[in-house]
Chain A
């Protein structure tokens, strides 16, 4: 940011002198020329991706992936939007405009964007509480997400859910109880199988949740009944303050489904995530039953906004991941080095994204809180209006579904 400011400043100061130099093309003109000349860019490129470890599978996902320019720009913009949205949430939380729990997803963007790239909008997805990224990829606007975080009437749940309870079409939250979303996901898969429309359910949980008993109960039933469910463990190495080594007798999360085949995926590489998910989706849709994917990823923030995230890991470790494995940087390098895009075009996207986030934040901080009347609503569905008791017998709220 500072660098750009200085560059702009120097240009302004040089101004007339630079323009007067014969034969010189101004910086701005060069950028304009570059972005207008789409014929200069390649339309697609093929990349080598890391081979996935497999469990109970003859073969795994492909080790190369084709990325089109269009896809690349879309993935970049989506990941960047999520990154900036989460950083804005951090800011708003520190200003006490967001309250309660706030679990941020920055660092893990390749997971939610990669998953979405491999499935259809008619497929289903459910996750735990680190859900802002998924709310976005599943169709909720940044505006509605931020306004839900700030508890305003324009929030995707009218301000009644908060950070952990955002929902969208075919997106079942946003769930606060660790592990509880896993049986729910298998239930959604049961419905998919019943309705026979070739839909599947992606059921996500973390490395911490992976030790919940109900997940093993779910593995058993999903395998028994061949439910079209992809179990996805987002392993970001820490369950709150407990590292995987201290929590699990076996940290091979992709094998923990035992009789369920599994794949271990590089969760920082969006192409690896996408190809693995395509592979897994095909497995489910062909009626073979459930499959498990472990996405090895990393969160830059602590567990939540009340966790600085450095008492159980070193700043060096965080910095190392940022410099060597950042998902957005990895994609950016691929795009630029393979002529699918260039720095200037990507910078333009960054500017667009920043603008969108600023506008959304503006809305989220100025939209009013829900009206008090909203307190009693949504207790029952399709019920004639009735009265809900408030803190005393004399305070009553009307309830409509």
Chain B
């Protein structure tokens, strides 16, 4: 099942389960979704549940947040998270802070979802990763699926969560097929928010990643395995609240840490992981400084060769692991 179909299933199941759930965004209804994530849903659920909006991010995001405050459970789609910048005030000031400011009186059960990060040749304004920006804010939950199981389970969990959740998908992952376990095919299958998953157990080094980079880590791990290096690949799944315990447990076992992400280096996900490791028990188990692999510290260029070199590639991960292990 591709990530796209897994998301589609999750949307269908949650729309069916709770009539207060609805989807709004640009092209989500009659166009079947800009990336076809909501294919067939408008035909099935109609105008009241699947709403096409004009190109008015700040307006429709505010409308979605208001609807959540008044008892509905909206899923607000951003065609890409780059456009969420138009509406970011509504996400942060209206959605994430309101429960706190009202001392618990006004919950905001909303999901903001859409593709995040780099795509292929879409240029600087359409390639930014927002994991660090949204991950910074208390009151929000931020999830970042990699596989179809992640996508389905996290979307369902996000819709059922009574808090504002930002779900950072990845356009390049939409078409990638994955095995969906028997369990994952059930209508009540949820992936818990706030828990990381060990995609591949290992003993020599911990690779922590989220979203598309998880795949690159697994590829690097396969290559390194041939040379006798066993990598433990941790799929964060959730950016906020971050499952630091799982990372720490892994580092205690492997004594080496490499983080991999697509976003920019400064103040990023990797930076946060390193800071947290230093504060906890795992620090004393590190045999080498923790290493971060990130997007290059530049706006994303267009030319293929430049774009490729702006993101951590499999060869970069292998190089970093060997450097850390001093081999």
Residue of A175, A201, A221, A380 near B56 (CB, 8 A) is: A221
Tell me the chain A residues, 155-193 only, with Cβ under 8 Å from chain B.
Answer: 157-161, 165, 167, 172-173, 175-177, 180, 182-192
Instruction: Knowing A158-B103, A160-B101 are in contact, say whether A183-B72 is a contact too (CB < 8 A).
Output: no
Q: Contacts A190-B66, A191-B72 hold; do A217 and B59 have CB atoms under 8 A apart?
A: yes
A380 CA to B161 CA in the complex, in Å? Answer: 10
Cα A377 to Cα B105 with chains together (Å): 12
Q: With contacts A381-B99, A381-B162 known, is A187 near B66, CB below 8 A? A: yes
Instruction: Find out whether the CB atom of A167 lies under 8 angstroms from the CB atom of B71.
Output: no
The stretch of B7-15, B88-96, B223-231, B246-254 in contact with A is B88-96
A228 CB to closest chain B CB (Å) equals 12
Task: Indicate whether B78 reaches chain A with its CB closer than 8 angstroms.
Answer: no
**A187 & B241 in contact (Cβ 8 Å cutoff):** no
Q: Are A217 and B66 in contact (CB under 8 A)?
A: no
**In the bound complex, do residue B138 and residue A188 qualify as a contact, i.e. CB atoms below 8 Å apart?**
no
Known: A190-B66, A220-B56. A172 touches B106 (CB 8 A): yes
- Produce 1/0 per residue, A72-114, CB < 8 A to B: 0000000000000000000000000000000000000000000
B66 in contact with A186 (CB, 8 Å):
yes
Whether B66 and A382, one on each chain, are in contact in the complex, defined by CB atoms closer than 8 angstroms, is: no
Complex Cα–Cα for A31 and B102 (A)? 45
- Residue in B22, B94, B139 whose Cβ sees the most chain A Cβ within 10 Å: B94
Inter-chain CA distance A224–B24, complex, in Å, is 14
Shortest beta-carbon distance from A95 to chain B in Å: 25
Interchain CB contact under 8 A, A183 and B99: no
Q: Identify the closest chain B residue to A182 (Cβ).
A: B62
Asked if A132 CB lies within 8 Å of chain B CBs, one says no
- Complex: A225 Cα to B56 Cα, angstroms: 14
A222 to chain B, nearest CB (A): 8
Interface residues of B in 46-81 (CB under 8 A from A): 48, 51, 53-54, 56, 58-72
Judge if B182 is at the interface, Cβ distance under 8 Å. no
Q: Could you say which residues of chain A place their CB within 8 Å of the CB of B89?
A: 177, 180
Is residue B279 within 8 Å, beta carbon to beta carbon, of the partner chain? yes
- Is A213 interfacial (CB-CB < 8 Å)? yes
Residues of A near B84 (CB, < 8 A) are none
Q: Which residues of B contact A401 (CB under 8 A)?
A: 99, 104
Is B285 interfacial (CB-CB < 8 Å)? no
What is the distance, in angstroms, from A10's C-beta to the closest C-beta of chain B?
Answer: 51
Q: What size tier do the contact residues of chain A reach?
A: 35 or more
Shortest CB–CB separation between residue B50 and chain A, in angstroms?
13
Question: Which residues of the partner chain A approach B98 to less than 8 Å between Cβ atoms?
Answer: 173
Which residues on B sit within 8 Å (CB–CB) of A214? 56, 58-59, 62
Query: Which of A176, A189, A195, A378 is the one whose CB lies under 8 Å from B103?
Result: A378
Q: Does A54 contact B (CB under 8 A)?
A: no
**Known interface pairs A177-B93, A218-B62, A221-B53; A378-B67 also in contact (CB < 8 Å):** no
A259 located at the interface, meaning its Cβ lies under 8 Å from any Cβ of chain B in the complex: no
B65 and A187 within 8 A (CB): yes
Q: State A225–B99 Cα separation when bound (angstroms).
A: 28
Write the nearest CB–CB distance from B46 to chain A, whole angstroms: 12
CA distance A306 to B59 in the complex (A): 31
User: Is B60 in contact with A183, judged by CB distance below 8 angstroms?
Assistant: yes
Which of B51, B103, B241 neighbours the largest number of chain A CB atoms within 10 Å of its CB?
Answer: B103
- 8 Å CB contact of A167 from B22, B53, B105: B105
Question: Which residues A105-163 have CB closer than 8 A to chain B?
Answer: 124, 126, 157-161
The interface residues of chain B lying within 8 Å CB-to-CB of A189 are 66
Chain A residues closer than 8 Å to B93, beta-carbon distance: 176-177, 180
**With A172-B69, A401-B99 known to touch, is A224 a contact of B54 (CB < 8 Å)?**
yes
With A378-B99, A393-B279: A187-B63 Cβ-Cβ less than 8 Å: yes
**Cβ of A381 and Cβ of B56 under 8 Å apart?**
no
A221 B60 Cβ-Cβ under 8 A: yes
A165 and B102 form a contact (CB under 8 A):
yes
User: By the criterion CB–CB under 8 Å, are B105 and A183 in contact?
Assistant: no
Mask, B1-23, CB within 8 Å of A = 1, is 00000000000000000001010
Give the chain B neighbours of A159 by CB distance below 8 A.
Answer: 103
Minimum CB–CB distance for B21 against chain A, Å: 11
Cα distance A188–B267 in the bound complex, in angstroms? 36
Least Cβ–Cβ distance between B67 and chain A, in angstroms: 4
Taking beta carbons and an 8 Å cutoff, which residues of B are in contact with A? 20, 22, 48, 51, 53-54, 56, 58-72, 89-90, 93-94, 98-107, 109, 138-139, 141, 162-163, 241, 279
* A-B contact list, 11 entries, CB within 8 Å: A157-B102, A177-B89, A183-B58, A184-B65, A184-B69, A184-B90, A186-B59, A191-B72, A218-B63, A379-B139, A401-B99
Chain A contacts to B: CB under 8 angstroms? 124, 126, 157-161, 165, 167, 172-173, 175-177, 180, 182-192, 194-195, 201, 213-214, 217-218, 220-221, 224-225, 377-383, 386, 388, 393, 401
